[in-house]
């Protein structure tokens, strides 16, 4: 029975960083070799570099890797680097400028910093599932629903940009013409700036009016809040008064029951068994005690 060779252990982050640094140093060798026979000098040189990388990893204390394993790992790293580069170029992502630095793995960050301008790294790529490997840290995964939401947000932002650009151009035409008529404004000086922005005259009166309007709005909001707060306070007081009234009625009911229970039911001075009671109007406990005393028949004294 043929025994399968043991599976290669998972690469650590330090090992991946060493592979990325070696790839950066020998970028021309790796991508100068076209697919073909191993007898070609470029392909042979690439294989020699991969063998050298394997020896360096073993010398550093890492497990031995085959040439094919290292080649496939470099391909996977480049694939993920292109995805991260595509996100970094995007201006409409959730982070306003791409993936946060803390979410980029260290071995991919090395390639992006050193080879970010190379065609194989900066090639356009559709942001899809980020492929992660077990043992890698801080690998961001984007689901298909997130990708659809990203595409929708991208199209919406483009439409909004077009609408705002057309509306701003129509709005800014008239102020520019009026300013050019009032003062000798030179447009050539404006074009000397790095970014051309339409010139809008500043009116202090409008700013003051806006400030007063905003202040009035704040005052009205404050008084609305204060009135609402007073209403809530009055409602709270009414609830407290109602609760106190209910507590008073409850206490009155309890006192009435206690009075009825303690009131002597035989107000005629006789109990139901015909024994005279001397506790008319007294609490039941005293009445019962006196009734018990009156029923005791002491023996007569003999002379």
Q: What percent of the chain has pLDDT over 70?
A: 46
Q: Are residues 132 and 159 in the same domain?
A: no
Q: Residue 236: which H helix or E strand, with range?
A: helix 204-262
- 44-82 confidence digits (pLDDT tens): 888 888 999 889 989 988 888 888 888 889 889 888 888
pLDDT exceeds cutoff 60 at 3: yes
Structural domain harbouring 291: 263-295
| Three-state DSSP class for residue 116 | coil
Identify the domain boundary among 127, 142, 157.
142
Per the domain annotation, does 56 fall within a domain?
yes
- 145-187 confidence digits (pLDDT tens): 445 555 666 666 666 566 655 554 544 544 444 444 544 444 4
What total number of domains does the chain contain?
A: 4
| Average model confidence (pLDDT) across the chain | 67
Identify the domain boundary among 112, 142, 172.
142
Q: What is the pLDDT of residue 148?
A: 58
Q: Are 83 and 99 in contact (CB under 8 A)?
A: no
Q: What is the pLDDT of residue 22?
A: 92
Q: How many residues does the chain have?
A: 303
Tokens 């007898």 map to which residue? 39
């Amino acid at each position: 029975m043929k025994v399968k060779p043991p599976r290669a252990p998972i690469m650590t982050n330090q090992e991946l960083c060493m592979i990325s640094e070696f790839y950066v140093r020998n970028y021309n060798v790796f991508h100068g070799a076209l697919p073909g026979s191993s007898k070609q000098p470029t392909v042979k040189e690439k294989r020699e570099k991969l063998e050298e990388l394997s020896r360096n990893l073993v010398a550093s204390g890492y497990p031995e890797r085959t040439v094919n394993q290292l080649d496939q790992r470099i391909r996977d790293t480049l694939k993920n680097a292109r995805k991260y580069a595509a996100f970094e170029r995007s201006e409409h992502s959730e982070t306003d400028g791409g993936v946060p630095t803390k979410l980029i793995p260290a071995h991919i960050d090395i390639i992006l910093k050193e080879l970010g301008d190379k065609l194989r790294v900066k090639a356009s790529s559709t942001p899809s599932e980020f492929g992660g490997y077990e043992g890698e840290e801080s690998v961001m995964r984007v689901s298909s629903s997130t990708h659809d939401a990203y595409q929708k947000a991208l199209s919406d932002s483009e439409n909004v940009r077009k609408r705002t650009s057309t509306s701003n151009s129509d709005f800014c035409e008239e102020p520019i013409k009026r300013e050019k008529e009032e003062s000798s404004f030179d447009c050539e000086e404006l074009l000397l700036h790095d970014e051309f922005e339409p010139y809008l005259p500043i009116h202090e009166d409008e700013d003051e009016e806006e400030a007063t309007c905003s202040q009035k709005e704040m005052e009205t909001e404050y008084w609305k809040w204060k009135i609402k707060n007073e209403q809530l306070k009055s409602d709270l007081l009414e609830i407290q008064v109602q609760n106190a009234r209910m507590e008073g009625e409850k206490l009155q009911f309890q006192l009435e029951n206690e009075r009825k229970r303690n009131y002597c039911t035989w107000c005629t001075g006789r109990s139901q068994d015909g024994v005279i009671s001397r506790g008319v109007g007294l609490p039941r406990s005293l009445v019962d005690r006196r009734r018990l005393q009156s029923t005791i028949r002491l023996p007569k004294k003999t002379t």
